[in-house]
């Protein structure tokens, strides 16, 4: 389905006028109407203006609607505080359902508009490559970030209000609607957080982790252990950390699995084949079907072991070999085969990467994996005329050949190398109660700027979006996709807590004792202590807050006093990034969907509850004046200037060489001055020669003074280690224009004096010379 048609079918009629006008923008591109070289600046201006108007329209509506829904939830919250005998449960429930429905529509509004902008800009840059609009779109999306809104605060409030109804009025409200925003189980045992790491920061991140967790060595015979959550990886027979992991994902030519997964369709599934190393080495091959059911709140996994010689029969011919029945559960085989037949699946994408895992052996409370050298490779055979993969084979035989560099067979457009490394941190909920053990993770994420949080990043989703972006059947694009255009590298470095400044430590103490924030959140912790509902998101921020034990809650209660009511207003109590549960049964990321946007600040201090709930508001200026603490004054000299002065000799020699050149110019000017002055009496125009001699003398003095000034100024800049410019063109310009002026004056006045002397006695006695000179002067004039 063309995206324009999809947009017309899926838009929410009451908000129809606020969607991107995709068809109008497409008409402005004049595809197939004009020749490529006939696209004018006027056409480009019209398109860019229309694009910007649509961005403004979408952002304004999304911003206003979010605030409107938030205000309505606050009004309902006030009703719960004053509820009495006249409390209308049915009216309250219907309003709450309507708000939740609109929140769902707003999230879909955000996603489909973002996809529309990405697609129309991609089409523009392909048709009119001389006018690239993608950089402009990136800049405008930063100033109008409608795609990065965090819906966790709305879900948090809705969930709390449903909890209020269940506890006080015996109203049974299912949470299936809430799960559409985030498809992980409410009672999952692990919490998972995803990050990108710039190559320049990779080593520093690894060394930071190694101070707390050792590198985990897997047994290559147990490929499934790489991802499973409940493994105790104690076997160390054969290290696989330096081998390439291959994952082959399935979908059909309509990208149903991709679109269902990205839009969080209930019971959405993925299917992949996984092995380690080269197929020529006959590794263990596993096929996995992963499904999430938001009603039962758990992941359903079917795993089977495959033999290479039977894979074509099973995957391509869709037959069930008897040999596979002997080594696998027959029901799992039938489920997977039925799934392949139902969706007409075929291999379309391969991911290859190298994995490093960090975990204390036998202790799975904290697990970290880092994947490097990540590549996405097309494996589809959608084009029957020029298939990338042989339709009769389950994999590409060219890149799986036993050669030293199989990637040499890949052509442009068939693969993409991911520019960053990916990291996943999984924390067991039981471990979240001990905050001290998580401090180093908190500091790594919150204080180092070495990593960029990308909630729910998925290799499958990103690979399909990257390689098949031009396909009109690709209905949606992940909201983190635009982050690739931003530079996530950082010059900041990780600073251990022991080396923080006094001011940073004071700030930490202030965060820990912020009674206002704790009082706003205290009641919700106590309220939901026995509840199965938990606010949800996928960022690290605030994700451990609900795991505070009862003693800690009581201490908080004593510290803030009895000021909080039964259920308080929650406008600022929900963490900016909310809470999350793990989203996959594996340590891999493939069943994690993206939330409605990535967070600008990926983590808050574990006990510091941020008061900001909207990504569209509360942006602090970086140019605000910094108030120094009491007793701290601005330094008179910089630390960089405190060490011994070490300057290379060539710097001094360069400065002296410039001074010598000015002395050379001064010498030449002084020679010219004295030659002219000494010959004034013998010249034809004594007065003019005298004036020019004094003028040249002034230039001589200026040249000498300027040369000394430049020499001393550059010396001072070098001594002070200043970043000021060493060049100065004023002096050379004055000398040059002075010489030009003197020569022009000399010529003009000399010429006029020669004309006046035509009446002299010389010409009276030599009439022939007079005639010749007059003729020449008249000719020149």
Quick: pLDDT tens for 436-479.
Answer: 678 888 888 877 788 888 888 899 999 999 898 876 677 788 88
User: What Cα–Cα distance (Å) separates residue 230 from each residue in 279, 342, 716?
Assistant: 27, 31, 66
> How far apart, in whole angstroms, are the C-alpha atoms of residue 410 and residue 398?
9
The 10s digit of each residue's pLDDT in 190-224 is 788 899 998 878 878 887 888 788 887 655 454 44
Q: What is the pLDDT of residue 76?
A: 86
Q: CA triplet 455, 459, 462: central angle to 5 degrees?
A: 80
Q: What is the pLDDT of residues 155-179, one digit of tens each?
A: 767 777 877 777 777 655 544 455 4
Determine how many CB atoms are found less than 10 A away from the CB of residue 210.
11
pTM score > 0.75 for this model? no
CA nearest to 578, candidates 552, 557, 597, 592 = 597
Dmax (CA) for the chain in angstroms is 135
CATH fold of the domain at 177-560: mRNA Triphosphatase Cet1; Chain A (3.20.100)
528-539 pLDDT, tens digit per residue, is: 443 333 333 345
- Higher per-residue confidence, 433 vs 247: 247
- Contact call for residues 583 and 592 (beta carbons, < 8 A): yes
| Residue with the two structure tokens 């999230």 | 107
Which segment, 33-42, 533-542, 636-645, 656-665, is predicted with the most confidence on average?
Answer: 656-665
Q: Judging by beta carbons within 10 Å of its beta carbon (0-12, 13-18, 19+), is residue 466 exposed, middle or buried?
A: middle
pLDDT in tens, 242-297: 578 999 999 998 898 998 888 777 778 899 999 998 888 889 999 999 886 554 44
State pLDDT tens for residues 723-779.
788 888 898 999 999 999 988 988 887 777 666 655 565 666 667 777 787 888 888
The mean pLDDT of 484-496, rounded to a whole number, is 59
Whether residue 133 has pLDDT greater than 60: yes
pLDDT, average across residues 89-112: 84
Strand ranges, E, within 294-362: 298-306, 346-360
Which tokens sit at 713? Answer: 């100024």
Instruction: Please provide the size of the chain in residues.
Output: 781
Lowest mean pLDDT among 25-39, 101-115, 231-245, 600-614: 600-614
Q: Is residue 577 exposed (0-12), middle (13-18) or buried (19+ Cβ within 10 Å)?
A: buried
The whole-number pLDDT of residue 108 equals: 82
Tokens representing 762 are 């010389």
pLDDT of residue 305: 92
Cα(290)–Cα(458) distance, rounded to whole angstroms?
13
CA gap 581, 535 in Å, rounded? 9
Query: Do the beta carbons of residue 684 and residue 750 sit within 8 Å?
Result: yes
C-alpha closest to that of 311 among 272, 277, 261, 258: 272
What tokens appear for 370 in the block? 């880092």
Helix (H, G, I), strand (E, B) or coil at 451: strand
Residue 85 — very low, low, confident or very high, per pLDDT cuts 50/70/90?
A: low
CA dist., res. 504 & res. 497, Å (int): 9
Of 115, 99, 82, 81, which is closest to residue 10 (Cα–Cα)? 115
Domain ranges of the chain: 3-149, 177-560, 649-780
What is the full DSSP assignment across 287-300? EEEEEEETTTTEEE
Measured distance CA(448)–CA(440) in Å, rounded: 11
Cα dihedral 448, 450, 452, 453 in deg (nearest 10): -50
């Amino acid at each position: 389905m063309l995206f324009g048609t999809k947009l017309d079918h899926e838009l929410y009629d009451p908000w129809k006028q606020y969607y991107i006008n995709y068809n109008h923008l497409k008409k402005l591109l004049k595809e197939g109407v004009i020749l490529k070289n006939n696209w004018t600046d006027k056409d480009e201006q019209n398109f860019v203006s229309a694009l910007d108007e649509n961005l403004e329209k979408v952002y304004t509506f999304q911003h206003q609607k979010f605030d409107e829904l938030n205000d309505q939830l606050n009004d309902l919250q006030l009703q719960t505080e004053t509820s009495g005998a006249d409390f209308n449960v049915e009216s309250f429930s219907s309003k709450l359902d309507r708000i939740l429905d609109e929140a769902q529509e707003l999230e879909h509004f955000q996603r489909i508009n973002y996809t529309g902008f990405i697609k129309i800009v991609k089409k523009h840059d392909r048709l009119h490559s001389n006018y690239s609009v993608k950089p402009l779109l990136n800049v405008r999306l930063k100033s109008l970030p409608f795609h990065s809104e965090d819906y966790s605060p709305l879900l948090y409030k809705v969930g709390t209000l449903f909890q209020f109804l269940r506890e006080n009025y015996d109203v049974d409200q299912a949470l299936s609607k809430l799960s559409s925003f985030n498809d992980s189980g409410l009672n999952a045992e692990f919490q998972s957080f995803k990050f990108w790491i710039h190559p320049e920061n990779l080593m520093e991140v690894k060394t930071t982790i190694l101070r707390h967790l050792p590198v985990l060595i897997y047994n290559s015979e147990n490929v499934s252990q790489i991802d499973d959550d409940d493994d105790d990886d104690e076997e160390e027979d054969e290290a696989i950390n330096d081998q390439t992991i291959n994952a082959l994902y399935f979908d059909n030519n309509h990208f149903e699995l991709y679109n269902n997964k990205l839009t969080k369709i209930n019971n959405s599934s993925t299917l992949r084949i996984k092995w380690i190393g080269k197929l020529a080495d006959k590794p263990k091959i596993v096929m996995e079907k992963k499904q999430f059911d938001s009603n039962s709140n758990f992941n359903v996994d079917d795993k089977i072991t495959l033999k290479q010689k039977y894979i074509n029969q099973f995957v391509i011919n869709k037959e069930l070999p008897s040999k596979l029945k002997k080594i696998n559960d027959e029901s799992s085989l039938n489920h997977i085969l039925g799934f392949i037949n139902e969706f007409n699946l075929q291999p379309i994408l391969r991911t290859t990467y190298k994995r490093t895992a960090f975990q204390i052996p036998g202790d799975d409370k904290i697990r970290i994996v880092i994947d490097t050298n990540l590549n996405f490779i097309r494996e589809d055979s959608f084009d029957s005329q020029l298939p990338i993969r042989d339709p009769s084979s389950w994999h590409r035989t060219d890149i799986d050949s036993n050669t030293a560099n199989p990637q040499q067979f890949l052509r442009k457009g068939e693969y993409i190398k991911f520019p960053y490394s990916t990291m996943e941190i999984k924390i067991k909920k039981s471990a979240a109660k001990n905050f001290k053990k998580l401090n180093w993770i908190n500091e790594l994420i919150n204080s180092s700027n070495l990593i960029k949080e990308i909630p729910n990043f998925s290799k499958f989703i990103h690979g399909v979006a990257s390689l098949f972006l031009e396909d009109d059947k690709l209905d949606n694009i992940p909201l983190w996709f635009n982050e690739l255009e931003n530079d996530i590298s950082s010059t900041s470095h990780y600073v251990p807590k022991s080396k923080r400044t006094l001011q940073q430590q004071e700030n930490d103490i202030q965060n820990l004792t912020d009674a206002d924030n704790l009082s706003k959140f205290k009641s919700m912790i106590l309220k939901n202590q026995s509840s199965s509902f938990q606010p949800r998101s996928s960022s690290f921020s605030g994700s451990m807050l609900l795991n505070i034990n009862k003693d800690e809650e009581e201490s908080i209660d004593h510290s803030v006093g009895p000021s909080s009511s039964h259920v308080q207003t929650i406008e600022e109590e929900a963490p900016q990034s909310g809470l999350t549960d793990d989203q996959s049964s594996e340590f891999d990321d493939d069943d994690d969907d993206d939330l409605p946007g990535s967070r600008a600040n990926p983590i808050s201090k574990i006990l510091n509850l941020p008061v900001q709930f909207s990504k569209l508001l509360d942006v602090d200026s970086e140019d605000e004046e910094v108030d120094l603490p009491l007793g701290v004054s601005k330094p008179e000299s910089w630390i960089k200037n405190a060490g011994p002065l070490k300057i290379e000799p060539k710097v001094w020699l360069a400065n002296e060489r410039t001074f010598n050149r000015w002395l050379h110019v001064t010498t030449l000017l002084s020679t010219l001055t004295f030659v002219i002055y000494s010959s004034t009496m013998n010249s034809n125009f004594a007065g003019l020669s005298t004036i020019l001699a004094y003028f040249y003398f002034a230039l001589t003095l200026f040249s000498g003074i300027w040369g000394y000034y430049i020499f001393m100024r550059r010396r001072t800049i070098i001594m002070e280690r200043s970043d000021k410019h060493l060049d100065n063109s004023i002096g050379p310009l004055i000398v040059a224009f002075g010489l030009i002026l003197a020569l022009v004056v000399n010529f003009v006045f000399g010429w006029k004096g020669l004309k006046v002397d035509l009446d002299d006695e010389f010409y009276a006695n030599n009439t022939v010379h007079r005639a010749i000179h007059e003729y020449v002067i008249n000719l020149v004039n």
